[in-house]
Amino acid sequence: MRAVLLVALILPTLLCLLTFGTVVALGVLKDSMPDWFESTLSGILGIQATASSTYSLSQSDAEKVAALGYDPEVVANTIAAINWVKEDFDADIDIGIMLAIFQYESGGGRNMGSCDAKTVAAGLTNINPAVELAAIDWHLKHWQEFDIRAHNPIAAQYVYDDYSGYIGHCAAAEMGSQGILPSTGLKICRDGLSKSEDQDIASCDYWLPKTAPHASAWWLDAIRYSADLDDAQKINRLYGWNRNQAYRELLVRRSHKINEELGPIVGDLNVSQHTVYNDSAEGWLASMLVAFLQMFDLLPENISVAASGEAQQWLSLPLKPQDNNGLSQDWGSTLLVSPPAPFHLGVDYGCAVGKPILAVADGVVVNPSRYVYKNDPFGWGLALWVDHGGIFSFYGHLSALRVNYGDSVKKGDVIGECGATGFAHGSHIHFGVTDLHPDDFVKWYQMDPGWLNPHNFLGKWVDPREYAR
């Protein structure tokens, strides 16, 4: 009995001393050898140091910007880009034209294209196809050198796995959220961005929230656009951006409105840079170690962010980029049925039968209680729902399922195969997003709550709990 009591008294003491000693030792290592400490922990936790950076506003400034209807991260990155060209190139670029371009080139970053760039470029008639194809190949080689797919999950969904091509805008294979023409992008990258010491900017990753506005700011300076020009001069200089006169006039008109709303506060906004980490620690042992280290504030920033799941990301498409045959029917369009139905409740992407369909975020495969929702509820054929924590993604017209009801899935996992089951004009994937469990729908055309615009999710780095309609 004495021995048992002695052990009961001594063991907790020894454990406390061991824990204290371990914490102190780890703290010393973190402070004295931060790089070694971070890389060692990354290896133990299975984390690859694939990171990029972005700019942000202080919380109070972000609230001011959001109250005016603008995305604080977009504004922060835009201000950083404007300051960069002002300091390094003595350029005077206004925030209005920058955000007008962002708004109209890609729908505010929600539409970054759905067509194979090389196919589009080869069919150009008003632009030299050979020049654009050569520029595309140049970019692909450059992106591979910087391995932008590993550092940016949005780029990973637009650039092919082997860097043999990318998905771009269908008009002229334009790249990223700013709609940059390949030949223009080559000049921007070769003569401007690639010379930066910031590897994100030098990579010329036009899908990266930070790099894209830097590209626009540099090109606006290159075509001699300036905020102090009159409207006629601005419209004339913007010919270097787009040849359409009416479109250039629209950009200038919109820029005035933005400058009126944001101009008075831009100079007072506090912009800071921080790192975004794209991988996470997996496994129960790694999770326990992370929890222990977090308890004593011993995790380096990159491991802390990555392992805690704060960097949850929606993928840009439920398809690998090389399997995407283009947007065949958009959200809200008239349904291709007879007689025509008034509203398309998702986004359709063409794909060949059997091509893998991917989960767009971590979640659990839903098991609807009503049989009709499991099998062809509205002409969708073989279909799946995935719960992402109150937001549900939907995949219709599948030819086969790769998961079972109740399975946990990770973003990018193959959950099914493309097909044409149900009512379908050719093989494609119908992708939808809802804020209702399928059992909670009263009618399938229910819109509020119910079906949400997928473009508010695709290609955005968001926590699915903090979505916007």
pLDDT of res. 284: 61
Q: For residue 449, say if its preceding peptide bond is cis, omega within 30 degrees of 0.
A: yes
In a domain, 243, yes or no: yes
**Greater confidence, 211 or 276?**
211
Q: Region 9-36: what's the mean pLDDT?
A: 79
Asked whether residue 293 falls in the same domain as residue 326, the answer is no
Asked whether residue 265 falls in the same domain as residue 304, the answer is no
In a domain, 71, yes or no: yes
Asked whether residue 417 falls in the same domain as residue 454, the answer is yes
In a domain, 315, yes or no: no
> In the chain, what percentage of residues exceed pLDDT 70?
82
Domain count, the chain: 3
- Domain containing 100 equals 53-272
CA 11 vs. chain centroid, Å, equals 50
Asked whether residue 184 falls in the same domain as residue 58, the answer is yes
Residue 281, C-beta contacts closer than 8 angstroms, at least 6 positions apart: 45, 46, 47, 287, 290, 303, 306, 307
Q: Is the pLDDT of residue 468 over 70?
A: no
pLDDT of res. 416: 94
In a domain, 12, yes or no: yes
How many C-beta atoms lie closer than 10 Å to residue 422's C-beta? 18
**Structural tokens at position 187:** 């000049």
Ranges of H-type helices in 177-270? 182-191, 199-202, 211-222, 231-237, 245-266
Q: Give the CA diameter of the chain.
A: 95
Q: Region 36-40: what's the mean pLDDT?
A: 77
**Structural tokens at position 422:** 């149900």
In a domain, 260, yes or no: yes
Asked whether residue 200 falls in the same domain as residue 264, the answer is yes
Residue with tokens 């979640």: 363
> In the chain, what percentage of residues exceed pLDDT 90?
40
In a domain, 24, yes or no: yes
Q: Which of 19-23, 122-126, 259-263 has the lowest mean pLDDT?
A: 19-23
In a domain, 153, yes or no: yes
How many C-beta atoms lie closer than 10 Å to residue 247's C-beta? 13
Asked whether residue 340 falls in the same domain as residue 409, the answer is yes
Backbone φ and ψ of 363, nearest 5°:
175, -165
Query: Quick one: pLDDT band at residue 33, thresholds 50, 70, 90?
Result: confident
**Greater confidence, 106 or 205?**
205
CATH of residue 419's domain is 2.70.70.10
Query: pTM for this structure?
Result: 0.69
Asked whether residue 189 falls in the same domain as residue 219, the answer is yes
Asked whether residue 375 falls in the same domain as residue 446, the answer is yes
Rounded to whole angstroms, the Cα distance separating 262 from 221 reads: 21
Asked whether residue 83 falls in the same domain as residue 135, the answer is yes
**Greater confidence, 94 or 349?**
94
**Structural tokens at position 249:** 């006039």
Backbone φ and ψ of 272, nearest 5°:
-135, 160
Asked whether residue 114 falls in the same domain as residue 261, the answer is yes
Asked whether residue 256 falls in the same domain as residue 342, the answer is no
Query: Quick one: pLDDT band at residue 287, thresholds 50, 70, 90?
Result: low
Rounded to whole angstroms, the Cα distance separating 343 from 453 reads: 12
Cα–Cα distances in angstroms (integers) from residue 168 to residues 8, 121, 333, 350, 451, in the given order: 67, 10, 21, 15, 26
Asked whether residue 14 falls in the same domain as residue 90, the answer is no
In a domain, 313, yes or no: no
Nearest to 151 by CA among 82, 219, 111, 201: 201
